[in-house]
């Protein structure tokens, strides 16, 4: 019963996406399975920290990374925090837990030349799917939106007259993003082929499959991986790297941090500052090359 209430809490009060709620559920189910197998216990509400610590050791022995373990424990922390909130427990077993150490994750954005190649040189497929895939790349790079935000875009979120786009972000927070001329042109080209799909008139969503159904997040990931594999040797090619690329390129060209924060839909500057790593590296390069005190 507690888990069902927790799921409803995440959906209705926290406004988490279905994807996030399912991830929490998988982590709780995994811990429940561990407790059942090792302690003959299926009610994790009364689990103590030694049980959780043994689960952590078990996961580590299976080769699960510290980063993934920390994410799983975060799901447990959220669950026990919820139980505290509704008075089911009086203390969280994770109250004194400290996260495992992880290596700092450095994500390498695509270069401006790679983006130029994708958007001007690489041939996309003919017809509907090609126009859709090109707009997916264009919008992710031109707006910095998240993959889930792109999937849930509605046709009515586009205002071609004002050249703006309305995005519904985390916690149902709306933001308005200006559109570039090239992006507007690509949207128009896509809408023209979209209008010929079955069910298109009844679908609220901007991005559809060739059968007229709403696209899904895996399709977006595969699209990005497919086309960027043609131009980039980088190991990681994902929608999030495009978001990272958007922020890095803006900062490299002089955009201020607050403006980038608003465009990305971050609630605090701390979240945006992770993208300054590459712009600082670029500034260092310029500084070294240009400063008269530098001995060449």
Question: Pick from 205, 220, 234: which is nearest to 135 by CA?
Answer: 220
| Torsion sign, CA atoms 102, 110, 138, 286 | positive
Lowest mean pLDDT among 15-24, 119-128, 269-278: 269-278
What CA–CA distance (Å, rounded) separates 234 from 255?
Answer: 25
What CA–CA distance (Å, rounded) separates 272 from 144?
Answer: 12
Alpha helices in the chain (DSSP H): 2-8, 18-39, 49-61, 66-85, 112-120, 128-143, 147-151, 181-194, 217-228, 239-252, 257-264, 269-272, 276-290
Residue 286 has pLDDT above 60, yes or no: no
Residue with tokens 């960027």: 228
Would you state the pLDDT for residue 272?
A: 73
Would you state the pLDDT for residue 287?
A: 52
Q: Give pLDDT tens digits for 130-143.
A: 999 999 999 999 99
- Burial string for 94-119 (b: 16+ CB within 10 Å, else e) reads beeeeeeeeeeeebebbeeebbebbb
Q: Give pLDDT tens digits for 249-284.
A: 998 888 888 888 888 888 777 767 766 665 555 555
* Burial class (CB within 10 angstroms; exposed 0-12, middle 13-18, buried 19+) of 257: middle
Phi, psi of 180 (to 5 degrees): -80, 160
Q: 112-287 — its CATH code?
A: 1.10.443.10
Show me where the domains of the chain are located: 2-85, 112-287
Q: Give pLDDT tens digits for 59-83.
A: 999 999 999 999 999 999 999 999 9
Q: How many CB atoms lie within 10 A of CB 170?
A: 16
Would you state the pLDDT for residue 265?
A: 86
Active-site residues, by number, are 146, 170, 240, 243, 266, 275
What CA–CA distance (Å, rounded) separates 190 from 128?
Answer: 7
What CA–CA distance (Å, rounded) separates 221 from 193?
Answer: 22
DSSP states of 151-217: HT-BGGGEETTTTEEEEE-GGG-EEEEE--HHHHHHHHHHHHHHTTSTTTTT--BS-B-TTSPBP-H
């Amino acid at each position: 019963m507690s888990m069902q209430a927790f799921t409803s809490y995440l959906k209705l009060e926290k406004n988490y996406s279905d994807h996030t709620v399912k991830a929490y559920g998988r982590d709780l189910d995994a811990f429940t399975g561990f407790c059942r197998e090792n302690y003959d216990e299926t009610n994790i509400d009364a689990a103590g920290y030694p049980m959780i610590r043994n689960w952590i050791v078990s996961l580590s022995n299976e080769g699960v990374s510290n980063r993934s373990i920390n994410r799983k424990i975060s799901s447990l922390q959220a669950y026990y925090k919820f139980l505290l909130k509704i008075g089911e427990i009086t203390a969280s077993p994770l109250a004194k837990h400290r996260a495992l150490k992880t290596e700092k994750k450095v994500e390498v954005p695509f270069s401006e030349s790679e983006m130029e190649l994708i958007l001007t040189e690489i041939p996309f497929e003919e017809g509907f799917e090609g126009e859709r895939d090109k707009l997916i790349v264009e919008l992710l790079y031109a707006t910095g939106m998240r993959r889930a935000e792109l999937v849930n875009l509605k046709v009515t979120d586009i205002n071609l007259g004002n050249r703006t786009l309305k995005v519904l972000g985390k916690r149902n927070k709306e933001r308005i993003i200006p559109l570039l001329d090239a992006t507007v042109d690509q949207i128009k080209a896509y809408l023209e082929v979209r209008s010929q799909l079955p069910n298109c008139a009844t679908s609220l969503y901007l991005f559809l499959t060739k059968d007229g159904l709403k696209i899904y997040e895996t399709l977006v990931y595969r699209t990005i991986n497919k086309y960027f594999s043609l131009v980039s040797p980088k190991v990681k090619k994902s929608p999030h790297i495009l978001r990272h690329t958007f922020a890095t390129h803006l900062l490299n060209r002089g955009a201020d941090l607050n403006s980038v924060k608003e465009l990305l839909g971050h609630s605090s500057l701390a979240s945006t500052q992770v993208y300054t790593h590459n712009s600082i590296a670029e500034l260092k390069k310029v500084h070294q090359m240009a400063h008269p005190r530098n001995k060449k």
